[in-house]
């Protein structure tokens, strides 16, 4: 597969229809922020097992001659969501992954769409109305879309735990079974909800008539979320964190995401002079995996809601700190590894417009289909991001009312010294920083085009969606000698299929100083690159 080319605009998404929605907006004169709102709405309809309007999102944005920016559209825990409240519900060990008790945080993504549209209008001269940006998604929800193999197979795989959840069967099953690949899937209630948001604005989700209905139905199902929780929510404009890399500046999202983890890995590898190793050799993979372990140790000790953090995340990106982590890596022996953070079902998308405005975006409901509950009137499938909270008062991410949950989500953006810019990212829990590492090092360090960087075999240490083991997982396309050499270094190897969804759905767009665009999409997904 070859990288796609363009000049006037480009979008990449794990479902081709979302990339096409973004491209249509760009062709109508819309900017990258407007295009991403359109893509975000479409992907929420056409890839429902991976994300929904009942989830969260994060944005990292760059526009030439303007400040780097970001949007935190993450919802906090409900005011009622305390350890005592769960004890009163008979929950003493851990918050359940599924059901109303898992739906304990506000869904922030719609507020992010609104913040992006306001930024577009105020800073980039955006003029397209929300009704236009949501038009594709409304049409797809009303008229239906062909079910992807990913949706069908994942629904079947998780059927036993999802079928009992309120509203799931009537929304996502056909005669009690997973919908068949290629069959038509409609979401008429969701179409009405999107149409209402298009008419009254994104604030309708948090403070309008729609908000009252959402809150009432969540309460009736047994969730701790109330109308006051929706009222207090707002998306926040933030300054992303930055890594000073030898090749340029790399940006990512602030905590409560693991954006700093992704940047730490790249910073460590920068100090190991990664390019001295052959690409995809055992030494290359070992270095990337061991850098990941060092960064994950910091993550699991310190990264949480920034209101509760002991350190400024930017401190973890200082040269002297990164050097200490690099010095701790043994080039000939794997560090023993334990339990990871667990699964996450997510989508990442990128858009670059003709003016060079770049958007790196991620939208999620955490586990596949989130909490599994679907609200009766609105058709909204609610996230279970808050099941990542601990009921142990001594834990780093212990549950507190109004606290933000830890997020594996982190959209990345790089500005290189040679004038190029790049947006890149992926879905996949523990795998997100690792796949970002693969895409960045293969493109920026080794000079591959985005498509080859994404298509080459990938690795994954630890847990991600659909996987609970903490082994080092390798796609079987790796050279057998590389696999055996990694085992000799002490890595516990588990082989995956040739192109395995376990390692995520990645995407990447590079913009040259001339304005030429190159993009790559993940053949492990149903995605595509759309450009003109």
List, in order, residues 6 or more apart from 90 with CB less than 8 Å away: none
What DSSP designation does 253 have? Answer: P
Q: How far apart are CA 299 and CA 263, in angstroms?
A: 12
Taking CA atoms, 289 is separated from 181, 330, 339, 400, 440, in Å, by 35, 11, 15, 33, 14
Kindly state the tokens that stand for 293.
Answer: 């372990």
**Burial of residue 79 (number of CB atoms within 10 Å: 0-12, 13-18, 19+):** middle
254 counts as catalytic: no
Of residues 304, 317, 311, 254, the one with CA closest to residue 71: 254
Q: Where are the alpha helices (DSSP H) in 71-225?
A: 83-88, 109-123, 130-133, 135-143, 149-157, 159-162, 168-172, 188-200, 204-207, 209-221
- Edge to edge, what strands does the sheet with 472-475 contain? 459-461, 472-475, 493-496
Could you tell me if 399 and 393 are in contact, meaning their C-beta atoms sit under 8 angstroms apart? no
- Catalytic one of 109, 155, 254, 346: 346
| Separation of CA 32 from chain center | 18
Instruction: Give the pair of three-digit tokens for residue 373.
Output: 């509950």
Q: How many CB atoms lie within 10 A of CB 416?
A: 16
- Which helix (H) or strand (E) segment holds residue 22: the answer is helix 16-27
- Under 8 Å between Cβ of 376 and 66: no
Long-range contact list for 484-488, CB < 8 A, 24+ apart? 485/282, 486/282, 486/285, 486/286, 486/334
**3-state DSSP call for residue 44?**
helix
For the residues of 259-295, what is the DSSP string, one character each? HHHHHHHHHHHHHTTGGGSPTTSHHHHHHHHHHHHHH
User: Beta strand pairing status for 472-475 and 493-496?
Assistant: parallel
494: tokens are: 């588990």
What whole-number distance in Å separates Cα of residue 304 and Cα of residue 295? 14
CB 43 within 8 A of CB 55: no
- Do residues 250 and 266 make contact, with C-beta atoms less than 8 angstroms apart? yes
For helices 319-327 and 282-302, what crossing angle results, to 10°? Answer: 120
Question: 76, 71, 53: which is closest to 304 by C-alpha?
Answer: 76
Residue 181 has, within 13 A of its CA and on its CB side, a CA count of: 7
Which residues form the catalytic set? 346
């Amino acid at each position: 597969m070859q990288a796609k080319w363009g000049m006037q605009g480009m979008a990449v998404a794990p479902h081709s229809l979302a990339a096409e929605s973004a491209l249509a907006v760009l062709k109508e004169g819309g900017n990258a922020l407007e295009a991403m709102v359109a893509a975000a709405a479409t992907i929420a309809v056409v890839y429902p097992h991976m994300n929904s309007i009942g989830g969260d999102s994060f944005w990292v944005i760059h526009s030439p001659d303007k400040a780097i920016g970001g949007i935190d559209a993450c919802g906090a825990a409900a005011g009622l969501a305390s350890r005592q409240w769960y004890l009163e519900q008979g929950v003493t060990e851990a918050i359940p992954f599924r059901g109303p008790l898992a739906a304990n945080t506000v869904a922030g993504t719609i507020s992010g769409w609104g913040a992006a549209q306001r930024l577009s209008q105020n800073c980039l001269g955006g003029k397209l109305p929300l009704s236009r940006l949501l038009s594709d998604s409304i049409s797809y929800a009303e008229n239906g879309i062909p079910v992807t193999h990913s949706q069908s197979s994942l629904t079947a795989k998780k059927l036993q735990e999802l079928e009992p959840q309120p509203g799931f069967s009537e929304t996502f099953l056909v005669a009690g079974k997973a919908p068949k690949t290629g069959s038509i899937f409609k979401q008429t209630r969701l179409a009405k909800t999107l149409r209402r948001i298009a008419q009254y604005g994104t604030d309708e989700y948090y403070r309008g008539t729609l908000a009252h209905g959402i809150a009432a139905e969540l309460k009736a199902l047994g969730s701790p979320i109330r109308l006051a929780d929706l009222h207090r929510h707002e998306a926040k404009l933030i300054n992303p964190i930055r890594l000073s890399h030898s090749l340029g500046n790399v940006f990512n999202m602030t905590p409560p995401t693991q954006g700093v983890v992704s940047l730490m890995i790249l910073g460590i590898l920068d100090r190991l002079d990664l390019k001295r190793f052959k690409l995809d050799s055992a030494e290359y993979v070992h270095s990337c995996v061991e850098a990941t372990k060092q960064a994950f140790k910091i993550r699991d000790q310190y990264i949480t809601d920034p209101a509760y953090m002991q350190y400024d995340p930017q401190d973890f990106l200082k040269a002297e700190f990164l050097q200490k982590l690099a010095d701790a890596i043994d080039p000939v022996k794997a560090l023993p590894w334990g339990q990871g953070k667990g699964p996450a079902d997510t989508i990442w998308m990128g858009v670059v417009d003709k003016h060079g405005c770049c958007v790196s975006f991620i939208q999620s409901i955490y586990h596949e289909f989130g909490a599994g509950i679907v609200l009766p009137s609105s058709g909204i499938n609610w996230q279970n991001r808050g099941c990542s909270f601990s009921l142990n008062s001594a834990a780093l991410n212990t549950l507190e009312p109004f606290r933000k949950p830890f997020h594996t989500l982190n959209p990345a953006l790089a500005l290189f010294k040679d004038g190029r810019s790049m947006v890149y990212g992926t879905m996949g829990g523990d795998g997100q920083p690792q796949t970002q590492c693969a895409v960045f090092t293969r493109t920026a360090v080794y000079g591959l085009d985005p498509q080859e960087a994404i298509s080459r075999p990938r690795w994954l240490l630890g847990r991600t969606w659909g996987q609970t083991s903490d082994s080092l997982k390798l796609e079987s396309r790796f050279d057998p000698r590389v696999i055996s050499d990694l085992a000799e270094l002490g890595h516990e190897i588990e082989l995956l299929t040739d192109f395995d969804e376990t390692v995520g759905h990645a995407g990447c767009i590079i913009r040259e100083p001339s304005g030429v665009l190159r993009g790559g999409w993940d053949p492990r997904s149903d995605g595509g690159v759309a450009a003109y």
